Amino acid sequence: MSRLNIVFFLLTLLFLSLGSNNLKAAECVENPTNVLDLAGAVDGFCETEPASYQIAIYSLHLCTSAPTAPTTSTAIDLTNCEIVFENSSGSTVSLSTGGAVNLTGTQTLPPAGTYTHGVVKMNNTFALTASLQFSTSFNGQVSGSGVYCATVDGSGVSSSTGESADRTICSNSPLTAGTYTESLTSFDEPFSATASASNVAGTGANINAYLVDTNEFLAVNDVGVNKLHGVVEFASPTSIISSTSNIDIRFNVGEGLSVDGNNGGGVYFGSGPFQATIVAN
């Protein structure tokens, strides 16, 4: 049976260090030996691929028209949407570029039809593992100094008041990375529960992201944030046909790690955008 791309999910998670809830950083520059050079990065900030990027996904929907956005008193309206995956506890997956991911939960083939939007409901925490080599020396936020820097085992937040500064160690010798778990509770400073991006990566896709509370209403402060919902308007409508029998999900985390070298000589690692392609066959 022939394969058919039915969804191109490009969910861009926009973080406080970007300085705006409508911007995205450039890809980090690497030389042929995978050494990163931040000299040309805007404000020393760029995005690259982590060794591991772990998230928990609760549901995926396909929609025949744009769903109504959540408000502080209503949840996102999915009347014109069909669920294709659901796990109320969340299916935790470790993403890698080009790798296939099996979501654990209830999977449902949507009816044949034309779909213009996609909705993903996911946890607002991201577990990152990364070990990088730079062309210049940096200080680790936790300890050490050198051209090799890595994530530490730990956890922190990206909130309306800033990012936790306990993420990295550095050395003049290669390092074994730990896993740092980041909780996103605001898209900007001061608090913002919404973020958007147009024509993402030149694909023609448009994205809106929402931080929601336990009622799935738009959160009103950091403390109330419980999950993240993303709505994608596809570059062009896509169709499900009657012969579709399976849906696969593949991810690209080539820019899933945010790197900031403009921290008074220190280096910061945080979560960045990922791509998820849903393929029907």
Region 212-234: mean pLDDT is 94
23, 87, 18: which is closest to 56 by C-alpha?
A: 87
- Judged by phi (left if over 0) then psi (alpha if -120 to 50, else beta), residue 98 lies in left
Please tell me the total count of domains within the chain: 1
Residue 40, judged by CB atoms within 10 A of its CB (0-12, 13-18, 19+), counts as exposed
Lowest-confidence segment of 35-39, 126-130, 160-164, 251-255 by average pLDDT: 251-255
Q: Would you state the pLDDT for residue 213?
A: 98
In tens, the pLDDT along 56-89 reads 989 989 899 999 999 999 999 999 999 988 999 9
Q: Is the pLDDT of residue 264 over 80?
A: no
Share of the chain above pLDDT 90, in %: 40
Residue 20 has pLDDT above 60, yes or no: no
Distance CA 16, CA 263 (A): 14
**Structure-block tokens of residue 85:** 């995956």
Residue with the bigger pLDDT between 115 and 179: it is: 179
**Predicted TM-score (pTM) of this structure:** 0.79
Peptide bond into 190 cis (omega under 30): yes
Residue 272 has pLDDT above 70, yes or no: no
Report pLDDT digits (tens) over 174-193: 999 999 999 999 988 899 99
Domain containing 136 equals 4-280
